[in-house]
């Protein structure tokens, strides 16, 4: 997720913008930059400074300029989407004559066709980004007309040489907030950056645009709706949620949407994955896949194996990354190895990747942290674009990983994709959001079950790994013993544990194994075990066996874990809170496990 910061007022703008970018650091980024005017020496035009990597690198680069009285400045932290993280792709971007400079958060979906048109008109481009197009569009058509030509999403802050005392802004689909101080104005991607600086803000709505200048905030005919901002930094980052974990669970729909955006085209029965373009020809020769990952990413990987075998007809092995490096498996030809990691820095996964690279396998990554070690050391891959995950328990990353695994397996050469499945995949984000609306009743159920000290989570097929992930969530943040099991295995051992004090959480989705799971539940019920079921809307039968039911919308079988895991994340969260634990920082755990 990119971050935008801008300032206009009587103070020095550059240090303010830099400090505000720092506050947006939690959104994640791979490069950053600022643009500003050097008053009074403004014939020098717009100054642009950029740096790759940590904000401190940008800090060092702008150090020499801090004493200049730049009273207006725009800044940006970039999370790469189009084009690798380097200085030319970092924002701010400029037009042909360096008279317009802008920062952008969002995506210009029609950037390729716009680029062709602008090139014909004589514009020359310096980066591979979609954003640079906007600078040239404004140069060619002016601010208002340029916005009309963009298909996609944007939050924009723009400065231009002719009006150095003004910053233009606009929002469509990507967040942008205006901060109103005393004779000074700010722009920021979220209120986090403004906490402690201003008491009044305008949360811009889609389609709103305007300017900030020393003469005030102007939004055409729209009367800005000014709201009070009473937040400290941490609360601002949590956006009103009591914990990052809950905020991130509630981002579930949005992260899946972000993973599918610009990649999934159901009407054309098409999936486009820019990150795999360079290896498309090699993929066609692959006849065997290995997936390796840890923890939550590993559970996503098990679902990935099922997807690859089901849809791409590709024999796939799934390995715990911590075992992979020590396992002396035979060397295979035409093998690809896929590594899944939210942080991109997990030591075990990195070590497994290095083994696969040394075997000359075609290594691929599904990584959330852009520019991380795993992203760099794999030959190709697909980013999650889920934004930073701060809660130690992985939640939104899991959903995003499943979305990307669906995309890759359905995109694989000769895969069995069909329009209906792609249409159904496109509906998943709103279905996740409808599950999230049930949070109150899930909270009540969590309170009811919080007293138990052992749980069994069961599921079959695609929902067996979801059951293991649900159990992991409960273990991590509530410190309750929970085991994830394939429902069919109950009778081979674990059923011995069942009594009235040992509840079972069962995922019972329509599909090939529905009846089988019901039979497994009958066996549990006969032994007095309490049952909480996650079932599909309209399933009345489930009420005859389960004590409690959480319904999720119906979907196609391979997509069911994307919905069934959401109530399990909420259930674990609310039990952790009910037990008084620090759910964002569970004991003994670290967000990024960089040791073996």
Is residue 433 within 8 Å of residue 290, measured between CB atoms? Answer: no
Q: Which is nearer to ligand M6R, 235 or 592 (CB)?
A: 592
Our CB check for ligand M6R shows the closer of 297 and 336 to be 297
* Binding piece for ligand M6R, criterion CB under 6 A, among 183-191, 356-364, 388-396, 540-548: 388-396
Minimum CB separation from ligand M6R for residue 354, in Å?
A: 15
Rounded Cα distance, 18 and 5, in Å: 8
**Window 557 to 596, contacts with ligand M6R (CB under 6 A):** 589, 592-593
> What x-and-dash track marks residues 422-461 binding ligand M6R by CB under 6 A?
----------------------------------------
Closest residue to ligand M6R, judged by C-beta, is 295
Residue 171 · residue 106 · CB < 8 Å = no
Q: Which residues are catalytic?
A: 2, 591
Nearer to ligand M6R, 259 or 393 (CB): 393
d(CA 269, CA 273): 14
Judged by CB, which is closer to ligand M6R: 212, or 370? 370
**Closest approach of Cβ 303 to ligand M6R, in Å?**
14
**340, 465 contact by CB (below 8 A):** no
Buried/exposed code over 581-592 (b: 16+ C-beta within 10 A; e: otherwise): bebbbbeeeebe
Q: According to CB under 6 A, which one of 31, 89, 237, 343 is a site residue for ligand M6R? A: 343
CA 241 to chain CA centroid, nearest Å: 18
Binder of ligand M6R out of 2, 392, 468, 566 (CB under 6 A):
392
Interface with ligand M6R (CB under 6 A), residue from 89, 394, 415, 560: 394
Shortest Å, Cβ 462 to ligand M6R: 19
Interface mask toward ligand M6R for 274-313; x: CB under 6 A? --------------------xxxx----------------
- Of 105 and 296, which has the nearer Cβ to ligand M6R? 296
Q: Per the structure block, which two tokens stand in for 522? A: 């009958």
Whole-Å CA distances, 32 to 22, 66, 216, 412:
10, 16, 28, 34
# binding residues, ligand M6R (CB under 6 A): 16
Q: How far is the CB of 398 from ligand M6R (least distance, A)?
A: 8
Q: DSSP string of 285-298?
A: T--EEEEEE-HHHH
Residue 131 or residue 349: which is nearer to ligand M6R going by CB?
349
- For the bound state, the minimum distance from the C-beta of residue 499 to ligand M6R, rounded and expressed in Å, comes to 29
d(C-alpha 314, C-alpha 500), whole Å: 43
Given candidates 190, 476, 539, 584, which one binds ligand M6R under the rule CB under 6 A? Answer: 476
**For 388, left (φ over 0), alpha (ψ -120 to 50), or beta?**
beta
Residue 341 as a binder of ligand M6R (CB under 6 A): the answer is yes
Of 12 and 248, CB closest to ligand M6R:
248
The nearest distance, CB 564 to ligand M6R, in angstroms, is: 17
Among 20, 72, 346, 560, binds ligand M6R (CB under 6 A): 346
Radius of gyration of the CA atoms of the chain, in A: 25
Q: For residue 157, give Cα distances in angstroms to 135, 195, 362.
A: 11, 19, 41
Cα end-to-end span (Å), the chain: 29
Per DSSP, the residues of 299-366 read HHHHHHHHHHHHHS---EEEEEHHHHTT--PPP-SSEEEEEEESSS--HHHHHHHHHHHHTT-EEEEE
The H-or-E segment that residue 197 falls in is none
Please say which residue, 458 or 471, places its beta carbon nearer to ligand M6R.
471
Q: Residues with Cβ < 8 Å from 282, sequence gap 6 or more?
A: 336, 362
| Minimum distance from residue 588 beta carbon to ligand M6R (Å) | 11
Token pair for residue 352?
């497994």
CB of 392 to ligand M6R, least distance (A): 5
Which residue's CB is nearer to ligand M6R, number 46 or number 393? Answer: 393
Take residue 314 and report the two structure tokens written for it. Answer: 């590709």
Residue ranges in contact with ligand M6R by CB under 6 A: 294-297, 341-343, 346, 349, 392-394, 476, 589, 592-593
């Amino acid at each position: 997720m990119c971050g935008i910061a801008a300032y206009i007022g009587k103070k020095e703008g550059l240090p303010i913008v830099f400090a505000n970018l720092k506050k947006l650091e939690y959104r994640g980024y791979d490069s950053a930059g600022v643009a500003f005017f050097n008053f009074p020496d403004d014939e020098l035009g717009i100054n642009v400074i950029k740096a790759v990597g940590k904000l401190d690198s940008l800090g060092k680069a702008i150090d020499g300029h801090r004493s200049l009285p730049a009273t207006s400045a725009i800044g940006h932290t970039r999370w790469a989407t189009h084009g690798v993280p380097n200085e030319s792709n970092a924002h701010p971007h400029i037009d042909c004559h360096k008279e317009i400079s802008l920062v952008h958060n969002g995506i210009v979906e029609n950037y390729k066709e716009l680029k062709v048109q602008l090139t014909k008109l004589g514009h020359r481009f310096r980066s591979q980004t979609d954003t640079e197009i906007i600078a040239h569009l404004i140069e060619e058509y002016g601010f208002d007309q340029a916005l009309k030509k963009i298909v996609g999403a944007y939050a924009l802050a723009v400065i231009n040489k002719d009006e150095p005392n003004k910053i233009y802004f606009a929002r469509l689909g990507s967040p942008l907030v205006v901060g109103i101080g005393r004779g000074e104005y700010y722009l920021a991607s979220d209120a986090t950056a403004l906490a402690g600086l201003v008491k009044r803000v305008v949360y811009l709505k889609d389609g709103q645009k305007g300017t900030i200048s020393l003469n005030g905030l102007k939004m055409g005919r729209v009367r800005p709706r000014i709201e009070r901002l009473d937040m400290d930094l941490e609360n601002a980052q949590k956006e009103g949620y009591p914990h990052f974990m809950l905020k991130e669970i509630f981002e579930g729909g949005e992260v899946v949407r972000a993973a599918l955006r610009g990649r999934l085209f159901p009407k054309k029965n098409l999936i486009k994955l820019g990150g795999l373009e360079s290896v498309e020809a090699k993929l066609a020769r692959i006849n065997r896949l290995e997936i390796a990952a840890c923890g939550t990413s590993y559970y996503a990987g098990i679902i990935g194996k099922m997807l690859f075998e089901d849809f791409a007809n590709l024999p796939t092995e799934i390995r715990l990354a911590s075992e992979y490096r020590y396992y002396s498996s035979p060397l295979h030809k035409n093998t690809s190895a896929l590594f899944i990691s939210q942080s991109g820095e997990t030591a075990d996964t990195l070590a497994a990747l290095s083994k696969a690279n040394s075997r000359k396998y075609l290594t691929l990554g599904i990584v959330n942290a852009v520019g991380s070690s795993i992203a760099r050391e794999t030959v190709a891959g697909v980013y999650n674009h889920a934004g930073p995950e701060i809660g130690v328990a992985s939640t939104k990353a899991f959903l995003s990983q499943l979305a990307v695994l669906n995309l890759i397996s359905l995109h694989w050469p000769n895969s069995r994709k069909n329009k209906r499945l792609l249409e159904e995949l496109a509906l998943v984000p709103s279905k996740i959001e409808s599950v999230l609306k049930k949070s109150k009743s899930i909270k009540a159920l969590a309170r009811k079950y919080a007293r138990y000290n052992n749980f069994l989570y069961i599921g079959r097929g695609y929902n067996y790994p979801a059951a293991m992930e649900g159990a992991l969530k409960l273990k991590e943040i509530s410190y309750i013993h929970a085991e994830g099991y394939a429902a069919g295995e109950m009778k081979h051992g674990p059923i011995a544990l069942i009594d009235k004090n040992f509840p079972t959480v069962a995922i019972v989705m329509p599909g090939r194994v529905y009846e089988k799971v019901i039979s497994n539940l009958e066996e549990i019920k006969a032994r007095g075990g309490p049952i909480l079921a996650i079932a599909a809307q309209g399933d009345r039968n489930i009420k005859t066996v389960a004590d409690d039911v959480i319904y999720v919308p119906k979907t196609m079988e391979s997509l069911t874990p994307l919905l069934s895991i959401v109530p399990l994340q909420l259930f674990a969260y609310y039990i952790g809170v009910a037990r008084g634990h620090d759910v964002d920082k569970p004991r003994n755990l670290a967000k990024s496990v960089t040791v073996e």
